[in-house]
A and B are shown apart, each in its own frame.
Chain A
Amino acid sequence: MKAKVIKLGWSVMYFVAGMLLLLGMWDMVSRITKGEIPSPLATWDTFKEVMKDPFQNEPDYKGIGIKLLSSLARVGIGFGLGSLVAIPLGFLLGSSRIMMNIINPIMQILRPVSPLAWFPLGLAIFQDSPKASIFMIFICSLWPTLINTSFGVSNIPQDHKNVGKAFGFSVWKYIIRIMLPYSLPHIFTGLRLSIGVAWMVIVAGEMLSGGIGLGYFVWEEGFNGGSVGKILVAILIIGAVGLLLDRLFTSLQKRFTYAV
């Protein structure tokens, strides 16, 4: 108990030290650029201004909270659809050498394609830019989950498979009682990587697609509006939300990892 408190104390100290270092460097850059990059304090003022009415929902102006939520919703839909495809497909590839050999080359070609390259394709297919950005999220959140899931499934120990064989498990029982629980930690690793990619890509996507979202906020109100302060505020919000998403998936992963 005591050791835990001390450990926590130390990690808080390290966090504070890191933040101070960041603020210090930021302040220095601000001085060197003579305020072209606003100082932390000036940015704080911008932050307060941006946060004044986060859920303001006028037809012509949406608050930052609404923008954040709509970005999150797009990520959620694209990521959700991607996972719904990636997990079952990962089961298939992980349990069949032949399928893996067939699909692997396709995966190798498509995976390194920049997510942004998918955007115009999505636009051509759906004729709708929010749908195109969801499509983009979908494609790029497929790969990490697919690869990790199939890796997990292809490594199921013979002992576990033998149980299924010896007692005549049906395919369905084998999937939910052996394949899924064994590969769950791997699936969560994949999901965590996928959500990270998806969150990174949504900002770029929204810059292309426009509409309501954090990406468009950075572009329109930050860059076009000539407010570097707003760009910085958006960067900080994007970073913080990304961190929270990562933490969320880490804790899910821990929860679902069985004790061997």
Chain B
Amino acid sequence: MRSSAITTTQNIADSILQPVLTPSTAIDIKNVTVSFKTAKGSYTAVKEISLSVQKGEIISLIGHSGCGKSTLMGTISGMVKPTAGDVTANGKPVMGPGPDRGIVFQNYSLLPWLTVYRNIYEAVDAALKDLSKGEKKELVERNLKSVHLWDHKDKLPGQLSGGMKQRVAIARAFAINPSILLLDEPFGALDALTKSNMHVELLKLWNLDNREKTIVMVTHDVEEAIFLSDRVVVMNNGPAATIKEIVSVPLDRPRNKRDIVHDPVYMNIHDKLLSLLIDKFSIDDIKD
């Protein structure tokens, strides 16, 4: 009798605590394994990865090419179905892609027969059905201007440079203004100056939302990762890649790009990340 009463109390306590705990978790990846069927049999890209991202957090994924960063991102966006494990986004299990999770694809994924303007408009039109036509147009215009592509709005993707395409893809994802933003090497094709501008635009968007927007970004740029992120997730090389280490970036915001590079905390993290990445080089060298 007595023990069952205790259990009941425990259950009640749990159920009270649960709603308090869950809303702050935006993305919850639990024991996720992804295997692909290939001609030579099954290839395990990532293995038993667990990662929890808080609401409003900015996370970077870094790791060598082919280690499974895009694959892991795919499990959050719903484009890739985990072979084992579960992914929860905004408290709901991820069953497929949805407009609550905006994506900038690594290969831009623009529709080649639509102009820059239409590429964004169609996405806005599909994802934000409740807006009026005028509001949608206003949204497209604002976001195209913020990536400095308004003058190029009538061009087709085939007439754009790599960096311009990337900015269209960014404007498209930003225009939807999803609560979770997934960016797969979003700034990889940009020159240093444009990249800096894009960082500012990204943080503006994040600030506008009371910093409640959750951002997961894949990057190869260590400085960028530190400047933008709260935590940097370093992955091991594949196959069957896992998380090697998660490095926190306890730098105050707003961060000033020029100032933080002299901050000892920054320099520490920078060194640590580099050694985590280069460490892998030396292991590879020995193997070869």
Which residues does A use to contact B, with CB under 8 Å?
159-160, 162-163, 165-170, 173, 177-178, 181-182, 258-260
Asked whether B122 lies within 8 Å of A173 as measured between CB atoms, the reply is yes
- A248–B18 Cα distance when bound, in Å, is 68
Kindly supply a per-residue 1/0 record for chain B positions 94-127, scoring 1 wherever the CB is within 8 Å of any chain A CB and 0 otherwise: 0011110011010101111110000000110111
Chain A residue contacts of B114, Cβ below 8 A? 177, 181
Q: Which of A160, A165, A259 is within 8 Å of B97, CB to CB?
A: A165
Q: Does B66 contact A (CB under 8 A)?
A: no
Kindly supply a per-residue 1/0 record for chain B positions 37-64, scoring 1 wherever the CB is within 8 Å of any chain A CB and 0 otherwise: 0000000000000000000000000000
Chain A residue contacts of B105, Cβ below 8 A? 159, 162, 166
Asked whether A178 lies within 8 Å of B96 as measured between CB atoms, the reply is no
Q: Does B33 contact A (CB under 8 A)?
A: no
**Dominant SS at the B interface?**
loop
Chain A residue contacts of B205, Cβ below 8 A? none
Q: Which residue of A lies closest to B110 (CB)?
A: A163
Asked whether B98 lies within 8 Å of A159 as measured between CB atoms, the reply is no
Q: Does B77 contact A (CB under 8 A)?
A: yes
Asked whether A166 lies within 8 Å of B156 as measured between CB atoms, the reply is no
Q: Does B176 contact A (CB under 8 A)?
A: yes
Chain B: number of interface residues, binned into ranges: 20 to 34
Asked whether A258 lies within 8 Å of B156 as measured between CB atoms, the reply is yes
- A159–B125 Cα distance when bound, in Å, is 19
Asked whether A160 lies within 8 Å of B109 as measured between CB atoms, the reply is yes
- A182–B127 Cα distance when bound, in Å, is 21
11 A-B residue pairs with Cβ-Cβ distance under 8 Å, sorted by A, are: A159-B109, A163-B109, A165-B97, A166-B77, A166-B99, A168-B97, A168-B98, A170-B126, A173-B126, A181-B111, A258-B158
Asked whether A162 lies within 8 Å of B79 as measured between CB atoms, the reply is yes
Query: A162-B105, A165-B79, A181-B111 are known contacts. Are A260 and B122 too (CB-CB below 8 A)?
Result: no
- A160–B107 Cα distance when bound, in Å, is 11
Asked whether B122 lies within 8 Å of A177 as measured between CB atoms, the reply is yes
Query: A168-B98, A173-B122, A259-B158 are known contacts. Are A163 and B79 too (CB-CB below 8 A)?
Result: no
Asked whether B99 lies within 8 Å of A258 as measured between CB atoms, the reply is no
Q: Which of B96, B122, B158 is within 8 Å of A165, CB to CB?
A: B96
Chain A residue contacts of B176, Cβ below 8 A? 167
Question: A155 to nearest B CB, angstroms?
Answer: 14
Interface residues in B117-150 by Cβ distance below 8 A to A read 122-123, 125-127
- A160–B112 Cα distance when bound, in Å, is 9
- A189–B98 Cα distance when bound, in Å, is 35
Q: Which residue of A lies closest to B156 (CB)?
A: A259
Query: A168-B99, A259-B156 are known contacts. Are A163 and B123 too (CB-CB below 8 A)?
Result: yes
Asked whether B111 lies within 8 Å of A178 as measured between CB atoms, the reply is yes
Asked whether A167 lies within 8 Å of B158 as measured between CB atoms, the reply is no
Query: A159-B107, A177-B122, A181-B113 are known contacts. Are A166 and B97 too (CB-CB below 8 A)?
Result: yes
Q: Which residue of A lies closest to B173 (CB)?
A: A166
Chain B residue contacts of A260, Cβ below 8 A? 112, 158
Asked whether A167 lies within 8 Å of B127 as measured between CB atoms, the reply is yes
Chain B residue contacts of A177, Cβ below 8 A? 111, 114, 122
Question: A168 to nearest B CB, angstroms?
Answer: 5
Chain A residue contacts of B109, Cβ below 8 A? 159-160, 162-163, 166
- A165–B112 Cα distance when bound, in Å, is 17
Given contacts A168-B98, A173-B122, A258-B112, 4 further A-B contacts (CB under 8 A): A162-B109, A166-B105, A168-B126, A177-B122
Question: A167 to nearest B CB, angstroms?
Answer: 4
